[in-house]
Structure 1
Amino acid sequence: MTAALSGRWRDAAIAMAVAALLTLAWTIADWARLSALILPDPDDMMRLMQIRDWIGGQAFSDLSQYQLGGGLAMHWSRLPDLVPAALIVLLEPLAGRHGAELVAVILWPAVLFAATLALLASLARRLSGGAGAGLIALLLGALAYPATGFFTPGRIDHHGLQLLLLLAGGRAMLAAPSARAGAVAGVAIAASIAIGLESAPLCALVLAAIALRWVVEGKDRAAMLAATGMGLSGGMALAALLLAPRIWPSALCDAFTPPVAWMAILAGVLLAMVGVVPGLDTRVRRVGALALAGAMLIAAVPFLAPACLAGPYGAVPPLLRTLWLDHVAEAQPLFGTPVAVVIGYAGLMLAGLAAVVVQVARNRSDAGLLSWLALLLGAVVLSGIQLRLAPFGAALAVPVLAAMIVRVRARGRPLATVAAWAGSAGILYPLAAGALPVSRPAEQPRAPCLTPANLQRIAVLGPGMIAVPLDMGAYVLETPGQAVLAAPYHRNGAANLAHYRLFLGKPETAAAEAQWWKLRAIAYCPGWVDDLDLAGVAAPGSIVALARQGRTPGWTKPVAGPDGVIILVPRP
């Protein structure tokens, strides 16, 4: 016990050191943008805006973004806001608001990264049982692209926290059967679902693995199964009580909404009931009880969650799907992308799948490895549907790759050990993909768009609504008094459609949209012109069509040159 505790403390210390070192390197590399609080992703900027609004007096339950479109009820959760907001409030008296925000957006991803690395080490020790597996997993986790992208400075969006919670649920799944382990798994999954639905399919696989191990092992795991169900249902009920936003639409199934909450609570209740029902003393009976619970859950969907039958984007207008949603990179099927993308983005995950298959083939009685095989296989299949799950799969690959290295190294074969290390280093896969010859036309150099100077050009326009390209919208919101027409959020359907009519429509259509929305100005960057016309539907005389010719519409007055953001002011 003492040796195990000392090993955990050692791994935790190394995890913090590795996270600190990489965070420092990443911060230095991106300091020009980071110091101006130009965060890596639009979602990071929107998270910062949500935190600012809350600190500024907006109610905890009010997640609306009043500067976006005509006012938008965001589909996000307050849970990921808690720590960054606390850091900002605590540090502001010492460092000022800008300094406090800068520290928060650097420190919070680093803390999540360190915790994730420590969990990966614990998982590797559990799956391997070999000496040194934890340290190897720490090193592999530091190289586990694309999962590491969740933890770079400025990444305050919720994906890093979701990955940490998924790993916590997975670690509880592998623990010795106990009510405590089950409760940890259930609460971790409830918290992840309360944040968002991205990792929900993988969380469901964790629940399924716990249930299947109960089927196989019987009464020794009954208490754990019941505690998992109670943790899930209790955690979701608590989240509904504390985190439910003021606008909580039951007609949507795109986030932590009432249909999702009801279904998760019911799933937890059914798991708890199955775990405590007496007389399930054979595998056949346990399979029957679990199948009955699953049938009851499915049968309840039309009654408790009819909105979920249409999927998370069921309310998105078809035209907006064609113009925007169908081109969102993270929503694309992995195996429909070029080979270079598959290698770079999924290489580590596929290597982990191969490693765990080999390990299971050699030890088919290891229930922990079988459970992890199911998780990794699920990540591969789900990434094949949507690319956004590949980073989760990369992280899930790390423990089994560390276990593989331990086994290969124990055989005393240096070449095989080097090959195992190379195949487990996630950062090598995008490097290899980048070396592949790709046949495509030469791209024109793009002007830098998200720069402090360009954002300042928009900020000095003063109060009013500004139209900018979707991915630029969240960056404009930080200017007090300014609103933005569109941003990459599916609930902003009407305004996002207006955005495309404005940039792609005929002059009379665009002018009418500008008048309807009372636009103060229209701003775009030459580098985004093609992104606005992914479907090739720019009308003759539209803003995009004229921009390609170096011209501007007659119904606007240009007030900035092509060296940066081009700003058009509608004529009276």
Structure 2
Amino acid sequence: MTPADTMISVKATQPASRRNDLAVAVVVTLAMVAVNALGGFPGLTDAGGDNDSLLRLVEVRDMLAGQGWFDLHQYRMGVEGGFVMHWSRLVDAPLAAIIFVASALTGSMAVAETIAEVLWPALLFCLALLFTIRAVRSFAGAGAVLPAVVIGAAALHFIGIFSPGALDHHNVQLTLTMASLSLLLEAPVRRWAALLAGLCAALTLAVGMETAPYVATIGVCVSLLFVADPSGERRIAKDFGLGFAGVSALVFLTTIAPSVWGQPQCDAFSTVQFVVAALAGCGLAAVASLDMANSTLGRRLIALGLLALALAAVLVVLFPQCLAAPYASLDPRLKQMWLGHIEEAQSIFRLVFDNPAMVVARFATPLVAIVLMALRFSHGGWRRQDSLVAALLAVAFLVSAWEVRGSTFSIAFAVIPLSAWITKWRQRAETNPSRGSMLRMATAWLISVNAVWSGAAEAASSAFETNAAAKDASADAACHGKASFAALGRMPATTVLAISNLGSPILAFTGHRVFAGPYHRNVAGNLLVFDALLGSASDAKVVVDNHHVGLVALCRGNPESRLFATNAPGGFLAGLMRGSVPDWLEPVAETRGAPLELYRVRPTD
């Protein structure tokens, strides 16, 4: 049986269905934007601690102000001279284009930025929902489109990366990964789908290394499907490989400065990723194209096995440093005082004790989806689309168990089998409208919606939340709101000493510079802040004098402030929180009692 024979319906590839799916995605997106508009777009005035989106906006502003395309320095963060960010210009470019055009039309940079903060996440939400619907249509047929729209939109909204103001790259990565999956599901009956799938896989890897496990999984699936069914998968494997290698080369040439082509970077797209992608993509395309390499099962296995060995040899011999854990070389103090307290970087085993409500909200629907795929496998009739969906879902679940941020992908992938499950019970309820079938259908709907699990978990956990905890959370949120930085923004530009959680908001909402920011490459700046805030007031004074600090900012309700005070009760920051102000500082009167308190460094004689 060929892959085309195993597809649920050829209708999934017809232009009419694509237009209908696009129309539905657009309508749902417009409804989401309207709801946010009625609420006043709160995410635009209170980032809620989304440091990455704020710094992305700063990075785009810098580029529009003339900073070079290849220059990824963040000059206003870190020690003097700043540090090089690991982000990609592939995300900066469309944001800059939107702001540039909008500012030309409106005459206001502030209005243009607001337009970009609303339009960009909405556009990505629309595309992510569209590709989710397309994937579900290919996986379970046209009857599953309604569940895909409902639980797909609910899931994408729940994960929170498409809200107005969300300029971080994770929404781009999820959209591209879902696009690659959707296109591969359609590839047997759509000529250019595999080539486009390879293109999307290369782009999502270029945007950030977080998606490397999913890109690798997609590549392995394409290869194994070709091994199992060469007649049906040969063209798909060849086109995917060419698209993946070609776009990787294009990204390397256009986003990496020639002066650093020889400098491998493990945390960003560089010569490492380019060499591996080019070898993997071209190698797969060659094996799929040459009869001498694919005419028999044994030859296909040998050829692809040799390709895998070549890839492994390249990594081991040329780039062994990239085989280590992502943060293996990070300073121990940063691991203890920063990385170990980033909630999205925690494992499921730690969250079970620290935040069980998050475990339920983030892992329930993916786990149900995995069980559904296991049942499908046990019942027989396994299809190529089952292999693609199951592999990505399983890998995403494993990644999320290691770091909860991976649940962004597992929740999205889970929509596909969950939609098929709901469709099955809807069809049974229609053919046999009994109370039992209706109850099972309703149960399937409820179990498949993340908000149901999240609401139940939050309701249970709120019973144990104290008023003090609620008060602290409120204060923390205020320290990330734009209004809290108004007083700081009116002061002459200087260097501000503050915790890392305040770094990006200070850069986005004021003209000042900071030392600390929650980024693993900013080692020197973050350690300098550790020395100042965890050390004595005298230690802090040395940092202030040596680095020309003009202001100290304090947010009492921020978890990072409490962490520092707990770990160094005799330190400078803990003293400030107790009201012990050294004589070389003076409180800024207008911020006394405000969520963000400021202290001015007294001039020395």
TM-score normalised by L of structure 2: 0.89
Q: Report what 2:309 is aligned to.
A: 295
**Matched residues, percent identical?**
31
Structure 1, gaps ≥5 residues long? none
* Residues 553 and 352 (structure 1), Cα distance of their counterparts in 2 relative to 1, 3 Å cut: farther
Deviations 1:117-142 (A, max 9, x none): 1111111111112x331232011111
AA in 2 matched with 1:538: A
Deviation of the 1:38 alpha carbon: 4.7
Change over 3 Å in CA distance of 1:41–1:409 after alignment to 2: same
Structure 1 distance, partners of 2:11, 2:186, is 18
* Higher mean C-alpha displacement, 344-353 vs 96-105: 344-353
Q: 1:359-378 counterparts in 2 under 5 A?
A: 359-378=376-395
Q: Residue 253 of structure 1: SS of its match in structure 2?
A: coil
Residue in 1 aligned with 2:318?
A: 304
Query: Is the CA contact (8 Å cut-off) linking 1:112 and 1:160 kept in structure 2?
Result: yes
Matched, 1:238 2:250: yes
Moved more, 438-447 or 480-489: 438-447
Change (3 A) 1:498 1:206: same
Equivalent residue in structure 2 for 1:543, among 555, 568, 572: 572
Q: Secondary structure at the match of 1:429?
A: helix
2:600 corresponding residue in structure 1: 569
SS at match of 2:77: coil
Among 146, 149, 157, the residue aligned to 1:138: 149
User: Which amino acid in 1 is paired with 2:546?
Assistant: W
Out of 418, 421, 439, the position equivalent to 1:415 is: 439
User: Deviations for 1:494-553, whole angstroms, at most 9, x for unmatched residues?
Assistant: 01011122111122221111222211111011112654526942151x233213423323
Q: Which residue number in structure 1 is paired with residue 126 of structure 2?
A: 114
Work out whether 1:16 is the aligned partner of 2:41.
Answer: no
Aligned-residue CA RMSD in angstroms? 2.3
Q: Secondary structure at the match of 1:166?
A: helix
Specify the SS of the correspondent of 2:161.
helix
Q: Which residue of 2 aligns with 1:491?
A: 521
**1:426 matched residue in structure 2:** 450
What is the alpha-carbon distance in structure 2 between the residues aligned to residue 548 and residue 90 of structure 1?
A: 45
Distance in 1, matches of 2:214 and 2:349, equals 19
Say whether the 8 Å CA contact 2:48–2:481 is kept in structure 1.
no
1:455 equivalenced with 2:485 (yes/no): yes
In 2, Cα distance between equivalents of 1:39 and 1:343: 22
1:90 aligns with 2:65: no
Alpha-carbon separation, structure 1, partners of 2:452 and 2:185: 29
Aligned pair partner of 2:549 in 506, 509, 519: 519
1:354 shift after superposition: 2.0
Structure 1 residue 478: Cα displacement: 3.3
C-alpha offsets along residues 316-350 of structure 1, whole Å, 9 cap, x if unaligned? 21211111012111111123213322111122211
Say whether 1:266 aligns with 2:274.
Answer: no
The structure richer in helix per residue is 2
SS, match of residue 143 in structure 1: helix
After the TM superposition, which residues 177-256 of structure 1 pair with which residues of structure 2 at under 5 Å, given as runs?
177=188, 180-245=192-257, 248=260, 250-256=263-269
* Alpha-carbon distance, 1:33 to partner: 5.4
Task: Tell me, yes or no, if the aligned pair for 1:146 and 1:394 is still in contact at 8 Å.
Answer: no
* Partner residue in 1 for 2:432: none
Q: Tell me: CA distance 1:319–1:223, structure 2 relative to 1, closer, same or farther (3 Å).
A: same
> Which piece of structure 1 moves more, 330-339 or 272-281?
272-281
| CA-CA distance at 1:432 after TM superposition | 1.4
Contact conserved, 1:457 with 1:565, CA < 8 A, in 2?
no
> Cα offset for 1:46?
0.8
Question: What is the distance in 2 between the residues matched to 1:7 and 1:274?
Answer: 34
SS of equivalent to 1:155: coil
Measure how far apart 1:441 and its partner are.
6.2
> Aligned letter for 1:430?
S
Bigger shift: residues 242-251 or 196-205: 242-251
Change beyond 3 A, Cα 1:373–1:32: closer
- How far apart in 1 are the matches of 2:321 and 2:304? 25
Distance 1:146 1:337, change over 3 A: farther
1:522 partner letter: V
Q: Kindly provide the CA deviation profile for residues 7-32 of structure 1, in whole angstroms up to 9, marking residues without a partner as x.
A: 32122111111111112223443535
- For 1:284 and 1:456, the matched residues in 2 are separated by 68
> Hey, what does 2:494 align to over in structure 1?
464
- The 8 Å contact of residues 59 and 74 in structure 2, kept in 1 or not, is answered as yes
| One of 67, 70, 81 as aligned partner of 2:76 | 67
Q: Describe the shift of the 1:246–1:33 C-alpha distance in structure 2 as closer, same or farther (beyond 3 A).
A: farther
Letter in 2 for 1:443: A
Q: Are the aligned partners of 2:158 and 2:451 in contact in 1 as well (CA < 8 Å)?
A: no
Letter in 1 for 2:240: T
Task: Name 1:104's counterpart in structure 2.
Answer: 116
Q: Which runs of 5+ in 2 are unaligned?
A: 1-9, 430-436
**CA 1:294 to 1:362, structure 2 compared with 1: closer, same or farther past 3 Å?**
same
Structure 2 counterpart SS, 1:150: coil
Partner residue of 2:327?
313
Matched length: 569
Mapped contact 2:241–2:282 kept (Cα < 8 A): yes
The secondary structure found in structure 2 opposite 1:149 is: coil
User: Is the CA contact (8 Å cut-off) linking 2:501 and 2:560 kept in structure 1?
Assistant: no
1:128-177 CA distances to partner (integer Å, 9 max, x unpaired)? 12x33123201111111676411111111111111111011112222244
Within a 5 Å distance, the mapping from 1:146-165 to structure 2 comes to: 148-165=159-176
Contact 2:227-2:301 at 8 Å conserved across structures = yes
Report the secondary structure of 2:540's partner residue: helix
The CA deviation at 1:76 is: 0.5
* Cα distance in structure 2, aligned partners of 1:2 and 1:394: 27
Equivalent in 335, 338, 341 of residue 327 of structure 1: 341
In the other structure, the counterpart of 2:434 is none
Task: Say if 1:33 and 1:452, in contact at 8 Å, map to a contact too.
Answer: no
Deviations 1:414-448 (A, max 9, x none): 11111111111121121111122465766341322
Separation (CA, whole Å) in 2 of partners of 1:484 and 1:518: 11
- Aligned mates of 2:363, 2:156 — CA distance in 1: 9
Deviations 1:545-564 (A, max 9, x none): 21342332344222241323
Q: Distance in 1 between matches of 2:512 and 2:143?
A: 55
Following superposition, the deviation at residue 87 of structure 1 comes to 1.5
The answer (yes or no) to whether the contact 2:534–2:564 under 8 Å persists in 1 is no
| CA apart distance, 1:107 | 0.9
Task: Write the letter of the residue equivalent to 1:543.
Answer: F
Structure 1, 232-241 or 362-371: larger mean CA deviation: 362-371
Q: Aligned pair in 2 of structure 1 residues 508, 84: CA closer, same or farther (>3 Å)?
A: same
**1:26 equivalent in structure 2:** 36
Contact 2:156 2:162 in 1 (8 A): no
How far apart are 1:40 and its partner, in Å?
6.1
Q: Are 1:57 and 2:86 matched, yes or no?
A: no
Q: Is the 8 A contact 1:465 1:518 kept in 2?
A: yes
Shift in alpha-carbon separation, 1:565–1:91, aligned structure 2, 3 A: same
**Which of 453, 463, 468 is residue 443 of structure 1 equivalent to?**
468
TM-score (norm 1): 0.94
- Distance in structure 1 (CA, Å) of the matches to 2:259 and 2:459: 49
Q: Which range moved further: 40-49 or 298-307?
A: 298-307
Q: What SS does the corresponding residue of 1:435 show, helix, strand or coil?
A: helix
Q: Which moved further from structure 2: 157-166 or 477-486?
A: 477-486
Determine the C-alpha separation between the residues in 2 that align with 1:146 and 1:393: 14
AA matched with 1:41: D
